Copies of this chain bind each other. A is one copy, B any other.
């Protein structure tokens, strides 16, 4: 590379560094046209300098290769604290001002750029949805590489440069993500270029990977399946030359299907103050945030800041109006080749509507309510198989799962596609193919991270998971929901496909596993996030599952949680009824009720297992207390329970009262933790009459019916609840109550002797 080229990269780097430091410190005087004074300094100095110069260095060098090779490239910023770097670079390349015309590329724009950073009403200090070109929030650490792999899937020709911070590299999710190269297919997918930014320190400690011998580090990445390249030093000229050389080499390798990665070992806070108040700062953890903290009150610090900033020679980089000098423009890629303008990074721009099969074709036939049984997720598997087929050409739909897609009975998809796999194979293997639509890896983090990257780059997908273990990604869900909340407010960010969870092998059917596999609390977790973002569905049978899944796969900008069983369940509703019921979200099942609009009691249910128990309870009540008027209400869309002031799907009080009455006892059998139903309904008129049964952390390896009994959610208990709450039922009811208790005792003895449920439970069908 010529000296002139390197000077240009260096000038660009200095410009980005200047703009980064300016954001952290300056309220005014952005071009240093006058001597720096305390009133130019922000009152609260907030931001992270440490990682920033390294990010700027990489961005400048990547710009060079994008131009030279006309690359389609995205930038994923693992060290998200380096917000100033990405803001600086997108401003320099023009994408920031195009996105935000209020921040033009001139002196006034630079002043705004500086002032808004970490300032009330301004922009966050992390890389965030507000930053053009980003699909990755920098806050919680660990997910950059998974996002990068997700973005690369089905984007042949795309190169995703992913900077991994050496702090982030200590996290579990990141440590597992390196192995994602065992899925990516160089023919049909893009490439990921991981760049480990080894700047040595976290907030207060050295990073582990910077303190192991070089050959160990090398060995680690070879073990992960990469060819590592090292760029190491602090002297800018030599570093520029080495980085340029390495980038050319790794991009050649990528073009040949290789798997390189780069280790950039540069000082933390590079080019910042080397020493402050007698303590080393550059190349130590002390430059993690704001290296000069006392600038406003300490004239010595103020002078150091001024000399630091002037050291970048801003007058050579910007003209008197603050416009970047034309020489710099020679490094900026054209149009959408600019990383801040990548359409991949604003996925809604390239999102295509999914072609959907007809629900009716897949629905199970229901001549009579509950007269047949099906495995809901197995039927859904056939529906998903057809989604795969219909969108095969576009290759923009994927199913992710932690080794559970077949266990969750979605294996019909393997009739038309396979599991993507680039590692070794053996003859005994089934469905492993180089370019399948299914990705399975025993890491919920990796599944979630790859799916997020896939969705945010404008594609569609589904994450199927055992219900209990979805908590592994609670925090990733948090971050994605927060991303979506902000994304929805930014008009320039176009809607993306929703993140769809299918939670199966749920709490009520963990026959193989037991207590450690029983946790329906993800729903509770999800409900803490913004109402406009989250949706929770509990389809009670096969056709309602199809209808819900169809709806979710078509939706945008939501997180949809679907909880559905894989075991045989009565088919309650025909396709037509299911569609209507799901559209309403909750409703009276008249065919199961005998209340003639005037119930004595409401039996409500949400979830497949509770629905069976409620229906079974009504048959017992009808048989033994035929004059008792029972209304059955089923809830598919949990958000319907909330007031309409709280959630867009919420029911007005009038509607709620029409379903649940204003004064009759309501026994509510719920799939998850019972208090959630109270939380959703405490404002309703009839709330004081609401009695909820659900999972209360009682469980072990036992029979399905015993799980219900252990948690007081079984049909016998529900009948007892009715008897205890409806006044004046008389001696017949008292006898029924005793009978129900006897049944529970009998069940207890029976399963301990036979190891399976009572025949009348196993063979029960709705009449």
Contact = CB atoms under 8 A, between A and B. Distances in A.
B167 A530 contact: no
B678 A682 contact: yes
Interface string A181-223: 0100000000000000000001111111001110011111111
A572 B475 CA distance: 34
B442 A124 contact: no
Contacts of A172: 142, 171-177, 443, 445-446
B128 A697 contact: no
A201 to B, nearest CB: 9
A472 interface: yes
A140 B701 CA distance: 15
B167 A182 contact: no
A338 to B, nearest CB: 25
Given A124-B515, A170-B442, A687-B682, A204 B403 contact: yes
Interface residues of A, number: 122
Nearest to A710: B120
B702 A514 contact: no
B752 A423 contact: no
Interface string A121-146: 11111101000000001111110000
A360 to B, nearest CB: 31
A46 B701 contact: yes
Task: Point out which of A122, A172, A525, A756 has the most chain B C-beta atoms below 10 A from its C-beta.
Answer: A172
A479 interface: yes
A759 to B, nearest CB: 12
B512 A47 contact: yes
A425 interface: yes
Contacts of A217: 223
Interface in A501-541: 511-517, 519, 521, 524-525, 528-530
Interface stretch (A404-412, A594-602, A605-613): A404-412
A170 B701 CA distance: 26
A541 B47 CA distance: 28
Nearest to A441: B170
A43 B177 CA distance: 42
A182 B141 contact: no
Contact of A140 (B44, B441, B468, B475): B468
B225 A43 contact: no
Nearest to A707: B120
Contacts of A128: 514-516
Interface string A719-760: 000000000000000000000000000000001101110000
Contacts of A140: 468-469, 472, 516-517
Interface stretch (A66-74, A426-434, A450-458, A659-667): A426-434
Interface in A449-488: 468-469, 471-472, 474-475, 478-479, 482, 485-486
Nearest to A168: B442
Interface string A43-59: 11011100000000000
Nearest to A212: B423
Given A119-B755, A122-B701, A424-B211, A204 B407 contact: yes
Contact of A756 (B44, B80, B519): B44
Contact of A221 (B176, B223, B525): B223
A760 B478 CA distance: 35
Contacts of A557: none
A675 interface: yes
Contacts of A571: none
A710 B205 CA distance: 34
A179 interface: yes
Interface in A562-621: none
A554 interface: no
A2 to B, nearest CB: 36
A701 B124 contact: yes
A440 B755 contact: no
A351 B280 CA distance: 44
A706 interface: yes
A467 to B, nearest CB: 12
Give 3 nearest A-B pairs by CB, closest first: A220-B223, A139-B516, A172-B172
Given A474-B474, A519-B528, 11 more contacts: A44-B756, A123-B701, A124-B513, A170-B176, A171-B444, A172-B446, A175-B175, A202-B442, A204-B405, A472-B474, A679-B679
19 contacts: A27-B755, A46-B701, A121-B702, A124-B515, A124-B701, A139-B514, A140-B468, A170-B442, A170-B443, A170-B446, A182-B212, A206-B425, A206-B429, A213-B424, A220-B223, A221-B223, A471-B475, A474-B525, A682-B682
